[in-house]
Chains A and B, each alone.
Chain A
């Protein structure tokens, strides 16, 4: 019997809880990880013969703890190893530890594990790499692939991040309500970062990075199960699902980016959309709005439109208005202007983004969007200048290719006799 897929799945799903509990016990990340690894090795040996334990996480926590304690003893006294069977004989012990794994405890264990990865001294990329390694259990190789760096470089990055976290004061006492909600907010932001690492990839890298988006969704669902009544966590999970539902339609066969309006909506994942819509619906009953909920509500309006022209742009405009109040940012205003251009026309949209020019002077999307409005208004020369600037600022070849497409159209549209002469 070589089919161990069910064991892999069980180990993956038990990992955050098990490593979180082992960390609380040993108060050292390396020891906790090693203990978990050892427990997994024993699971691979024991589970195929004995079948899965009733509570996989409890089994792994106990075995991991025992093995680690034995290791410590052994290194101290140089005593012979205990018999394998003695450690694996878990009958009653499993039940005992399962009882101690009450809900609130393991909730804080997992939150702590995620929270230490969000250490403010760590740059975002290191936070993400650390979380993917420690919480999600991706291999260094998998993470390196997603970040397009060598395995050695990623190994070093994670080792450094771990060393920094180890020096920091990890708070092991049970957090108060206020502290818990602050931790939850940091962790939610990190989960969104992980998602965006996958979502913002394009072309060749999109395939490599898609697992990051999926992992972020898994983590968001995990948070939601732990904090069932938090509307912002419902909003976050909904937002990720609704955005990821469009993954298959976002790039064409050549890897070029496809705008929302031009996407083949039959490629949207209806299962994810159903779940995303259900979650935002549930969140809004709480009447405690927040940025994730508003963004999810916007994504929901897109998801509900069977055709682009069915989109409720006026409502999207209002929602972006609410988001501007919660999270004032020129990028939010820029996004809002797209809804404004659909609901009220390009002139109103252009007027809205005019004041942003200074702050977004190095932002690719600003010039792409600005060029599009100018083109719609027939101000072709100004549009061309904006598109040229956008190409200069493009982050990926897909972005540049997309703008070039606009430029080509602009050239075709402006092939009046006079412009022909002046061009060549």
Chain B
């Protein structure tokens, strides 16, 4: 079974970490990543850009694009896509297409800052094995 582990924290707080603290956290995380990688169990890892870079598409009729993250609490996170786009316009277009196929709810579109492709036994062959920072 593949499990997604979603990371939540106070963005203000993480944003005010010193460079040294940030680096030391990343270093400690890398140890855990390495162990999982050795076992072939680490899938893609992404560090998202801050919510200030987010745009939300409310899948109403017609759909509405608003600046900022998805802030409602009455819906639940049900899944995610990773798409490769030239710019935000393209990404919002993809979200619109998806929304037409599956109306209701919302998509939050957020640029990815750091991406490690990873590789797991479950997805062997479909994802490149080499990780790049």
Contact = CB atoms under 8 A, between A and B. Distances in A.
Interface in B1-53: 10, 12-13, 15-17, 21, 49-53
Contact of B13 (A9, A224, A229, A274): A9
A23 to B, nearest CB: 19
Contacts of B13: 6, 9-10, 13
B12 A275 contact: no
B83 to A, nearest CB: 14
Contact of A221 (B52, B66, B88, B111): B52
A20 to B, nearest CB: 14
Given A228-B68, A282-B88, A9 B49 contact: no
A225 interface: yes
B38 to A, nearest CB: 26
B51 A279 contact: no
Contact of B88 (A12, A224, A275, A285): A285
B49 A228 contact: no
A229 B17 CA distance: 26
Contacts of A221: 15, 50, 52
Contact of A278 (B17, B92, B111, B114): B111
Contacts of A12: 16
Given A228-B67, A282-B67, A237 B15 contact: no
B66 A225 contact: no
A13 B12 contact: yes
Contact of B113 (A225, A229, A271, A281): A271
A380 interface: no
A271 B114 contact: yes
Interface residues of B, number: 23
A190 B51 CA distance: 23
B55 interface: yes
Going nearest first, the 5 A-B pairs with the smallest beta carbon separation are A228-B68, A13-B12, A278-B111, A229-B67, A278-B53
A285 B89 CA distance: 7
A218 B67 contact: no
B67 A275 contact: no
A274 B21 contact: no
Given A275-B50, A278-B53, 10 more contacts: A5-B21, A9-B16, A9-B17, A222-B12, A228-B52, A229-B68, A271-B113, A274-B113, A282-B88, A285-B92
B88 A13 contact: no
Contacts of B15: 13, 218, 221
A13 B67 contact: no
Interface residues of A, number: 24
28 contacts: A9-B13, A9-B16, A10-B13, A13-B10, A13-B16, A14-B12, A218-B15, A218-B16, A221-B15, A221-B52, A222-B12, A224-B52, A225-B51, A225-B52, A228-B52, A229-B66, A234-B52, A271-B113, A274-B49, A274-B113, A275-B50, A275-B53, A275-B111, A281-B87, A281-B88, A282-B53, A282-B55, A285-B92
Given A281-B88, A285-B88, A275 B49 contact: yes
Interface string A1-45: 000011001101110000000000000000000000000000000
A212 B53 CA distance: 23
Contacts of B113: 271, 274-275
Contacts of B10: 10, 13
Interface string B58-93: 000000001110000000000000000001110010
A282 B15 CA distance: 20
Nearest to B89: A285
Nearest to B92: A285
Contacts of A282: 53, 55, 67, 88
Contacts of A234: 52
A202 B10 CA distance: 34
A279 B68 contact: no
B59 to A, nearest CB: 18
B87 A237 contact: no
Interface in A277-296: 278-279, 281-282, 285
Contacts of A13: 10, 12-13, 15-16
Give the interface centre of B52, B88, B114 by most chain A CB atoms within 10 Å: B52
A12 B15 CA distance: 11
Contacts of B111: 274-275, 278
Contacts of B52: 221, 224-225, 228, 234, 237, 279
